[in-house]
Amino acid sequence: MSKKFKELSRFLDRHVLVSGYLDDCTCDVETIDKFNNYRLFPRLQKLLESDYFRYYKVNLKRPCPFWKDISQCGRRDCAVKPCQSDEVPDGIKSASYKYSEEGNDLIEECEQAERLGAVDESLSEETQKAVLQWTKHDDSSDNFCEADDIQSPDAEYVDLLLNPERYTGYKGPDAWRIWNVIYEENCFKPQTIKRPLNPLASSQGKSEENTFYSWLEGLCVEKRAFYRLISGLHASINVHLSARYLLQDTWLEQIWGHNVTEFQQRFDGILTEGEGPRRLKNLYFLYLIELKALSKVVPFFERPDFQLFTGNKVQDADNKILLLEILHEIKSFPLHFDENSFFAGDKKEANKLKEEFRLHFRNISRIMDCVGCFKCRLWGKLQTQGLGTALKILFSEKLIANMPESGPSYEFQLTRQEIVSLFNAFGRISTSVKELENFRNLLQNVR
């Protein structure tokens, strides 16, 4: 092997980061990059900047259900600035389940009741039945997330554009504890494996690394997918933190930007002894899962009585057109993930595994209430709810197919919270893929 070729190989190992086909998929990194960065990302960002998607209601004061000794981050960048009441469009404040002006008026009456879903006798019989069905479905075992009580006095609207996900300085034992519990207690880990599942744990050498991934490859596709989804979410968050890093902090200004060194420490193939590229491949795997869910749920959003209701009729109509354009673009993606292999074995075992899958993920959504940095908690809750909604969609294919073309859907529905989290969570993954291109370009200049 020539010296020049060896130098090129080392350069590619460090700067291309990840390429080629993904495990358990027929898709490759290059196809995703081209589709996301040039066809999808710009329009998706425009949609997420609209009023309907920028306001997210969240309860950041829920107590941690697993331990009491939470160290709250005291840094100013950990803080979340909630919206004042007059900053949120009236249509959003009154909307929970319905998506039209008429439906909003009905729900406003319902929300005056003692609990969400209580039905006012003045409503039509059909609407009463629909509201009860929606509430029952929301509380059912089909959900993959522990949802916030958005009717709680502690729940507040947050403008996501004014509280962006970025590096806050939240790190150390508290942050480590969150991820450690997620990996060690909620992923499907055989008892024979002693190595920590947390990929940020110090490596003990390549032989140990190979043993670790050999057991992962030996798992059934569902358990392997679960680990890869969590690892992909972890990787995506680390990409965001590296891309929006506090580079300079003075009393005059804060300067945020790409921290190449931080990115390399987390993802460089050599510095991480091969772990970094695996993390990034899991990020692409997560992208494909959420992309497939969005392609499956198109009929729900195509229904004529669905609106992205904020009260601004012109903007709402324009945003629905943009939303459907994005969804049809997603549906046209040529190499979608084939989820038909999920839970396709013996029916009894498949149902048991699906329930385990759901309970593990619900548990992870509850762990988000233990995050000591409020901004990290905000984005952690939103992204886990978004991924949980994507999983709910994937496992509701028959219900979606049987929806009526108009009128109430009694079997499948999405709340505004689920819709906002679904698209914003995918927007975060889409941004991560775009940022990988930016880091590649920056690393090439470092050469």
Annotated binding site: 166, 168, 179, 231, 234, 266
Q: Of all residues in the chain, what percent are helix, strand and coil, respectively (each to 5)?
A: 60, 5, 35
Separation between Cα atoms, residue 215 and residue 304, nearest integer Å? 48
Q: Residue 229 CA to chain centroid, in angstroms?
A: 10
Separation between Cα atoms, residue 181 and residue 364, nearest integer Å? 9
Contact 231, 199 (CB under 8 A): yes
| Alpha-helix residue ranges (DSSP H) falling in 111-220 | 125-138, 173-186, 206-218
Based on the residue annotation, tell me whether 373 is a catalytic residue of this protein.
yes
3-state secondary structure of 85: helix
Query: Tokens 């009128």, residue?
Result: 407
**How many C-beta neighbours within 10 Å does residue 318 have?**
13
Contact 104, 94 (CB under 8 A): yes
Catalytic residue among 27, 83, 370, 376: 376
User: Degrees (nearest 5) of the Cα angle 384, 388, 393?
Assistant: 150
C-alpha pair distances (Å), 239 with each of 150, 254, 267, 370? 30, 20, 9, 22
Separation between Cα atoms, residue 225 and residue 288, nearest integer Å? 12
Based on the residue annotation, tell me whether 376 is a catalytic residue of this protein.
yes
- Nearest in space to 435 (alpha carbons), one of 11, 33, 27, 21: 33
- Nearest in space to 390 (alpha carbons), one of 342, 320, 332: 342
Catalytic residue among 73, 145, 187, 373: 373
Known binding positions for FAD: 166, 168, 179, 231, 234, 266
The residues that are catalytic are 373, 376
